[in-house]
Structure 1
Amino acid sequence: MAELIIDGVCKSFGRRAKRKTVLSDIDLATGDNEFVSIVGASGCGKSTLLSVVAGLQGYDAGSVSVDGEPVVGPGLDRGVVFQSYTLLPWKTVRQNVAFALAAAGYPRGQRRRIADEHLALVGLADSADAWPAQLSGGMKQRVAIARALSYKPRILLMDEPFGALDAMTRHQMQLLLTRVWEHHRLTVLFVTHDVEEAVYLSDRIVALGTNPGHVKAIFEIDLPRPRDESIMATPEFGALKSRVLDSIREDIDVIPIDEPLPATANHNLQESV
């Protein structure tokens, strides 16, 4: 039973007069096997919060714990997947996964078998001996997911993992992630700027407000599982997506359509034409 508890977390950057608070009094608890997405306007602290939970950054106040144990740094109870693939270019696909297993203390005799099992899970059994440079972006991200899951973390932390992919590949990765999550049954904390993606994948969505980042709203996603792309065409899906978008739009400064562009913008536009 993996339970993540974030209690009153505050985080700031800078010194003295230039110090800026980016997270203020964040409270969040996730349940076992729950898929929770974090959304919000740019600058609300989504990635900072995930980095704090991963143990990659400290914080000023509050506490973060997994199964009652305080988070004081990176740990094998949490797997992390970033938007950048962070693969070692001098190692093959299998070796990249086995490298994580070695760091986790798995015996040499088990690493190849476990690596191959997880590569098969993400559909890359035939690419185990390939080099990262030979892979597409989607394939590289599948390797990163296989590597993060290989040592059996309790929680998977994902920071906009599909943000650099084209729309078709992104959708394929969403389907893959859903299948992998159902297979492993672990807790997922997923940062994304794509509200449709969040609604499709999640059990709950946490919307962060800005200046400073805070929990603004939490949305229960009570759509039936298993899900496929047909659910995106349902009225229920559309209604949930609209509610989440409305919450985020309140924090985004938008130039009115009938407001003229600044003179410098007009000048730059004419030059570009």
Structure 2
Amino acid sequence: MALPKLHIAGLNKWFPTKTGSIQALQDINLSLAENEFVSLVGTSGCGKSTLLSIVAGLQEFDDGVVLSDGIPLAGPGLDRGVVFQSYTLLPWLTAQQNVEFALKAAGLPKGECRDIARQHIELVKLDRFADSYPSQLSGGMKQRVAIARALSYRPKMLLMDEPFGALDALTRHQMQELLTRIWEEHRLTVLFVTHDVEEAVYLSDRIVVMSIGPGRIRETFPVDLARPRHSDMIATTPFIDLQRRVITSIREGSVRAEDEA
């Protein structure tokens, strides 16, 4: 039986406060299979971004294990590409140079960096804007550069924290279609944080609902919709029913947390 690409077991996380400490994550158990697309949803403060940051190696945790291919994760690594809501592009570099910069940091030769960067700029359909600076790009274009940069060093996992949250509705949907196409062509494991349930249903193989106080996994929903996904699915009964069930789970988890407070 194949090892999961990502395995989290018994994970707990506390944050210190002036009056002691507060538990952010409680007994998180989650596994992602090779090439699986999993979305984390839930109300603000339920620990979605904290969990993703732990997997990215950007935050430590107090108890439990986090394994990739059976090996404990220790800090950030090139096996994980990370995309945040903020674009974090270097303003003095062009779109292509931003991708090249990440590759040079990974130790690749200059010529190879240039070729790989060009391939990934083309992958996200920005070849006409390869020599444009971030200030000359729209929000959606900047996020395409960020995705190209994250994919350029061939990570085993792609970790995305509200990557389309700052975009307008039309651009957001275009980015969802782009991400779906890239994932279906390149088949890598994705852990995706979003507040948008429709987005989670459209993109995912599985949706994990988290509840607050402390953050924990409340319920998991398989997404049994055919691939490739297309925009017409959003209006179908199976799509709408699943979206409603996920929203109900989030709402019930929020109400329960308020009752326990």
After superposition, the CA RMSD in angstroms is 1.4
Structure 1: stretches of 5+ with no match in the other structure: 254-273
Corresponding position of 1:207: 209
Percentage of pairs with the same residue: 64
C-alpha deviation, 1:5, in angstroms: 0.5
Q: Which of 89, 111, 114 in structure 1 is aligned with 2:113? A: 111
- Provide, for residues 91-115 of structure 1, a one-character-per-residue CA deviation record: whole Å limited to 9, x for no partner: 1111100011011111111011100
Letter in 2 for 1:205: I
- Provide, for residues 57-82 of structure 1, a one-character-per-residue CA deviation record: whole Å limited to 9, x for no partner: 00000011111111110000000000
Letter in 2 for 1:88: L
- Provide, for residues 124-177 of structure 1, a one-character-per-residue CA deviation record: whole Å limited to 9, x for no partner: 011111101000000000000000000000000000000000000000000000
Q: Structure 1: how far apart are the matches of 2:224 and 2:202? A: 11
Structure 2: stretches of 5+ with no match in the other structure: 256-261
Return the index of the structure with the highest Cα Rg: 1
Q: Which of 72, 78, 81 in structure 1 is aligned with 2:80? A: 78
Residue aligned with 2:91, SS: coil
C-alpha deviation, 1:16, in angstroms: 7.3
Residue aligned with 2:254, SS: coil
C-alpha deviation, 1:251, in angstroms: 3.3
- Checking the alignment, whether the CA contact within 8 Å between 2:42 and 2:195 is kept in structure 1 is yes
Corresponding position of 2:64: 62
- For normalisation by structure 1, the TM-score amounts to 0.91
Letter in 2 for 1:47: S
Give 1:1-273 correspondences, 5 Å limit. Answer: 3-15=5-17, 17-252=19-254
C-alpha deviation, 1:15, in angstroms: 4.5
Q: Structure 1: how far apart are the matches of 2:185 and 2:235? A: 26
Corresponding position of 2:259: none
Letter in 2 for 1:24: Q
Count, aligned residues: 254
Structure 1 stretches of at least 4 aligned residues deviating more than 3 Å after TM superposition = none
Q: Structure 1: how far apart are the matches of 2:69 and 2:240? A: 35
Letter in 1 for 2:168: D
